[in-house]
């Protein structure tokens, strides 16, 4: 009877060691849970980026306003009969920092 109890106790200890420290055990499950959570966050960020890009594509397909805005901002284009003014900041003259009344 004692030998059976000792064998059962050893089997229980072996199973506990495998559960806590072995392959597919508690540590692996926790590590995988953290990786799943990180991947879910990354997937959500990428899904949000995809939604924004899809909205931009639809906006460009729908109307000319978005195309015109992009042409103006990225390509520096102007409409016919418009005048383009570019303001270039100059160097500060000596004494410009003083308070003037």
Q: Could you tell me the residue ranges of all domains in the chain? A: 25-78
Lowest mean pLDDT among 19-23, 48-52, 54-58, 93-97: 93-97
**Which tokens in the block code for residue 54?**
């899809």
Helices assigned H by DSSP within 63-77: 64-75
pLDDT tens for 4-30 read 889 999 999 888 887 777 777 888 889
Q: Say whether pLDDT at 98 is over 80.
A: no
What are the residues whose beta carbons fall under 8 Å from the beta carbon of 38, sequence distance 6 or more? none
What are the residues whose beta carbons fall under 8 Å from the beta carbon of 20, sequence distance 6 or more? 26, 27
Q: For the residues 35-62, what does the mean pLDDT come to?
A: 93
């Amino acid at each position: 009877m004692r030998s059976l109890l000792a064998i059962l106790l050893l089997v229980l200890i072996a199973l506990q060691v495998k559960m806590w420290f072995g392959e597919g055990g508690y540590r692996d499950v926790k590590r995988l849970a953290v990786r799943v959570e990180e991947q879910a966050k990354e997937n959500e960020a990428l899904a949000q980026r995809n939604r924004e890009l899809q909205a931009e594509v639809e906006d460009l397909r729908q109307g000319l306003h978005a195309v015109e805005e992009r042409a103006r901002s990225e390509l520096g284009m102007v409409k016919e009969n418009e005048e383009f003014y570019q303001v270039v900041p100059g160097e500060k003259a000596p004494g410009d920092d003083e308070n003037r009344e």
